[in-house]
Amino acid sequence: MKFSTAIENQLNQAVTIIQKGGLVAFPTETVYGLGANALNSNAVTKIFEVKNRPVFDPLIVHVGCMEESEALVESFPPVAKQLAAAFWPGPLTLVLYKKKIIPDIVTAGFPTVAIRVPSHPIALELIHRCQCPLAAPSANRFGKISPTTAQHVKKDLETSIELILDGGPCSIGIESTVLSCLQHPPVLLRPGGIPLEQIEKLLGPIHSQFEKTGLSPGQLPDHYMPTTPLYLGKSIPPFLVQKKIGFLGFNSIPVLDSFAAVELLSPKGILSEAAAHFFSALHRLDQGGLDAILAEPFPNVGLGMAINDRLYKAAQKQ
């Protein structure tokens, strides 16, 4: 693929930084990642420091193709091959037993590793040129709103990282679906960019265990949190009347309420469009000088399931 001169220059700098054990923020189709050489434990430690991420929360390892992932795991069962053939490159992460070559810091001490092949051309090129797998969580402070533009990364991490590769807004806009392939059939650990329905179309019914805690390490109930308190509901609750409220919804505004700001994620009612706009809208509302955000849950199908997962984690726990 041919890149602009600006991207070429950034890619060259990025490779040098990664090979020296530094960190680079880069675009993927899901959200922006904060990447380091996954085989260098000192480099990976810096990711945890910069993000202020607890070390019990394992990272996803990004590789360029299925063959590269096979080199990092003990076995790549037929069902994982089937999933990889169907959805890689793309927003699907597979959890498999790791080989020793992956440092424990990457997997939070677990014998398993989460792997995916991203589809963003800049991410793929970066992995290819670095000639190593990249461990990369989202490029934001732990627990905060995920970044879907280079500007979001800049706002949060500019002073702590050397380079942000700017590939424009992320096309999917929501993190990858995480599936554990340690058992058969695989288990959904986190809903994300590949809808559950598409996976079940391929494999038949699978279990979803993301609502229970402890199954996917690091899946804490408070995540994706704006600084402005966010409440879930279809209308402004009594304790927020008279306050400056922003609304985040799918395709329509509650008729009886009045809002200081409104973010409709897809007026036409298209879930993929809503997902792509979700985190940007949340960033804007969070910066809007509001007292609170009211968010309406999405239809719990397709990408709506992944959006709801983020909304529940972003919301105030009462």
Location of structure tokens 């009612």: 269
72 near ligand AMP, rule: CB under 6 A: no
216 near ligand AMP, rule: CB under 6 A: yes
Exposure class string for 103-114: b at 16+ Cβ within 10 A, else e = bebbbbeeebbb
28 near ligand AMP, rule: CB under 6 A: no
Location of structure tokens 């849950």: 297
Contacts for 60 with CB less than 8 Å, ≥ 6 apart: 93, 114, 115, 116, 135, 136, 137, 176, 178
By C-beta, is 36 or 236 nearer to ligand AMP?
A: 36
Judged by CB under 5 A, which of 138, 171, 176, 308 binds Mg ion? Answer: 138
- Least distance in Å: CB of 224 to Mg ion? 8
96 binds, among Mg ion, ligand AMP, none (CB under 5 to 8 A by kind): none
- Least distance in Å: CB of 267 to ligand AMP? 28
Instruction: Find the part of the chain contacting Mg ion (CB under 5 A) among 103-111, 123-131, 134-142, 283-291.
Output: 134-142
Judged by CB under 6 A, which of 15, 16, 21, 57 binds ligand AMP? Answer: 57
Q: Residue 10's beta-bridge partner residues?
A: none
216 near Mg ion, rule: CB under 5 A: no
Peptide bond into 89 cis (omega under 30): yes
Determine contact, residues 83/202, Cβ cutoff 8 Å.
yes
3-state secondary structure of 98: strand
- Least distance in Å: CB of 51 to Mg ion? 8
Neighbours of 201 (CB within 10 A): 10
Residues in region 275-314 near Mg ion by CB under 5 A: none
- Residues making contact with Mg ion (CB under 5 A): 138
- Residues making contact with ligand AMP (CB under 6 A): 57-60, 95, 107, 110, 112-114, 137-138, 175, 178, 189-190, 216-219
